Structure 1
C-alpha cells in the first residue's frame, strides 16, 4: 500500500523527536535562572543597582532636562543676573576713557548639527544677523558638511565669510 514506507517512517520519527525536544526546551525555560536575579524577588534598590550597570538611572521625581531646555534656563538666569547688575550700578559715574573691547563669544558646535542648526545658534548668540546669507556663503565655500565640532571663538559681530572660515577650519 505504501510505496515510500521509509519516507513515512522518517517523518514519523522526526515528529516524535521534535516533540521530545520541544518538551525539553519548555521544561528548561521554566527553570529558575542561574544568576538568581529574578525581578519579582528584587527590592527596588537592588533593581536600581543592576539597571545602573547598563543604563542611566534617575529617580522618578528627578527632572531630566534636554540640552535646549538647559540652554534656555541658563540664558534666562544670565539675563536676570545682568538685569540685576545693571539696576544696581549707579548711573551718575563719570565714564573713564577706556578703549572699546569687543566681547569674545565662544560657541560649541555639537556633533550631528546641520547648517540650519548652526545658523540658528549663531543668530541667537549675536554673531550673525542673516541666516540665509550665512547658509548661502557656507554652500559657496563648500562647508555644509565640513563644519568642525568643538569650540569656536568669535569677537562680536563678524563678517559672514570669516564666520564660515572659522567654522570649517580646525582650531
Structure 2
C-alpha cells in the first residue's frame, strides 16, 4: 500500500481540483466582457442586426437562389430573348448595309503610341484584320518610330501598304 501512496495522493488531489473547478464554473455562467442576450428581450430588428454580424440574414419573402438555379434561370431568359429576336427579324428582307467603298473611318493617333498600340487601335476600329501583317509592313517601311500624331482618315477597303503610308504621311 505504501508503494501506491503517491499515486493515490495524485488521484485524490486531481479529483478535488476537478470538483473545485466544476463548482467555480457553475457559479460564474458568463465571462465578464460578454453580454447575455435573451431572445425574448430582443425585438425582430435587433435580433436581425445581432445575427447579421456573423451570418447572412434574409427576409422570408425574399427568394434566395442557388448557383445552379440561377444558371438555369439565366439560360432560359437568354433562350427567350434570342427567340424573340429571331421572330422579330424577317428572313426574306435583305439587310440594309452601306457599300463597303463608302465607309469612312477617322482615327486619332495619340502622342507616344508605339507600333503595337497603333496596331491594336487599328484592329479595334476594323481597319486591319491581321496585326502581324501590319507590324511587318510597318517594319519593312521603317516607320516604327515615324508614325505621325493626329487624325488619319481611312476610306473604303485599303491594303496594308496604303494604311502604313497614311499613318507615316504628315497631315
Shorter-normalised TM-score: what interval?
0.3 to 0.5
With the length of structure 1 as denominator, give the TM-score of the two structures: 0.43
Q: Which has the larger radius of gyration?
A: 2
With the length of structure 2 as denominator, give the TM-score of the two structures: 0.43
